[in-house]
Amino acid sequence: MESSIDCAKEQVCLEQDESTIRSLYERLQRVPDQRKRRGKRYETAVVLTLLVLAKLAGETKMSGIAQWARLRAEWLSQVLSLHAGKAPCANTYQYVCDHMDKSALEAEIEAFTAEIAAKTAAKSAGKPRKWRQIAIDGKVLRGTDRQVAPGREAHMVVSVYVVGTRRVCKQALVEKKGKEPAAAMGLVEQLDLKGCVVSADALHTRPKWCRAVRQRGGHYLLIVKGNRPELYEDISLLFEAGPFPDLPEQRAQTVDKKHGRLEVRTLRISSALTDFLKPGWPDVAQVFQIERRVTRGDKSSCECAYGFTSLMACQATPHHVLDMIRSHWQIENVLHWRRDVTLGEDACQVSRGQTPAVLAALNNLVLFLIDHTGSRNAAETIRTFAAHPAKALALIMSPI
């Protein structure tokens, strides 16, 4: 523990050049503090560090975070500037979160995670993938739904998730219900999508969305549901009636047997509708049907979904397309589910100001740090950090 503390004691100057920034704590020191000077006892970077440390140790509520830090104040004061050797109260955490530059915090987190992801990729000996997949989806911060005033809505954020590196590269607050596509579009317009395939659910299946992704140099992979009835009917009729000799299609299949169930996914993909759909859907190249058949004991269920992509057959094999369709759901299973269940995001009842969005950004960071340790079990890693907080502190204070 002592060596971890010594490593964490490096003093950082706010005027450092970008190239000299090496630790997460140094990044957090660059977040502007918008509080008035009078009565300010704790630096923004210190409060953010305590939040991340407590979350890495399994604390999910402001009261629990405050008590966790208070019980370790003597130890933490050896590394961090704590006023009179005491840790902040629960209200201070929320006040600081409400009075910091949220956009700057998100930018620093994005830069930090991008730098680590780039270094990890450089060290990897494996062959780089032809396409980098980016998944986009929204999430309601359900803890904010319990205490909202009449006429107000629960907070919602939309995230841009890099599947291969398990990191959130962009996140935005949704203004109100029904505005998720507009918020996602704003994020897409900030990205360089060359070499990327952007996947999204049926809510984003719009010609404007397809055009925006293609203009940024990327490809799209979208699901089609009842909100686009004509498109859904055209694609479903092709696969229900086919295959036809003059309208060739390709297939791919995966078989998984785990958790007491047998799961067979079958993809059928065709370019037969390309010319028919192109006037309304920019650069559409292929349409597909994916059938998911699940068997548990003597019971079976089957469901079909339809979609389309701008990737041509020569750019991605059917197996690659099937893999990307499955990988899209990492944003639900690996990101949103772990934020809700492992980090208790839905149980947190902080609902005022920008604090819920700040905590959501910190939860993204915490999960990335856990994955960076090489762990595939977040709950197990959190228990380790709870028992050995110096390891979590070194993760924040030490160079990348």
pLDDT confidence band for 37 (50 / 70 / 90): confident
Q: How far apart are CA 316 and CA 305, in angstroms?
A: 19
In the beta sheet, which residues pair with residue 301? 294
Give the tokens for residue 216: 């940024």
**Confidence grade of residue 14 (pLDDT, cut at 50, 70, 90):** very low
**Higher per-residue pLDDT: 352 or 341:** 341
Residue type, 344: G
pLDDT at 125 over 80: no
Q: What pLDDT was estimated at residue 126?
A: 59
With a cut of 80, say whether residue 332 has pLDDT above it. Answer: yes
Q: Is the peptide bond before 243 cis (omega within 30 degrees of 0)?
A: yes
Q: Sorting pLDDT into bands at 50, 70 and 90, what band is 352?
A: confident
With cut-offs at 50, 70 and 90, classify the pLDDT of residue 10. Answer: very low
Pairwise CA distance, residues 365 & 223, whole Å: 29
Question: Would you say residue 8 has pLDDT above 70?
Answer: no
Looking at residues 119-126, what average pLDDT do you find? Answer: 72
Give the pLDDT of residue 76.
94
What is the average pLDDT value for the chain, to the nearest integer?
Answer: 88
Dihedral sign of CA atoms 74, 78, 84, 90 in order:
negative
**Those residues with Cβ within 8 angstroms of residue 326's Cβ, 6 or more apart along the chain or in another chain:** 254, 265
> What pLDDT does 146 receive?
59
CA–CA distance, 215 with 192 (Å, rounded to integer): 10
Checking if the pLDDT of 4 tops 80, the result is no
Asked if pLDDT for residue 190 goes beyond 50, the answer is yes
Q: pTM, whole model, 2 decimals?
A: 0.88
Model confidence at 245: pLDDT above 80: no
Q: Give the pLDDT confidence score for residue 20 in this predicted structure.
A: 56
Beta-strand relationship, 132-140 and 196-200: parallel
Comparing 39-53, 87-101, 202-216, 237-251, which segment has the lowest mean pLDDT? 237-251
Q: Is the pLDDT of residue 287 over 50?
A: yes
Structure tokens at 198: 């952007």
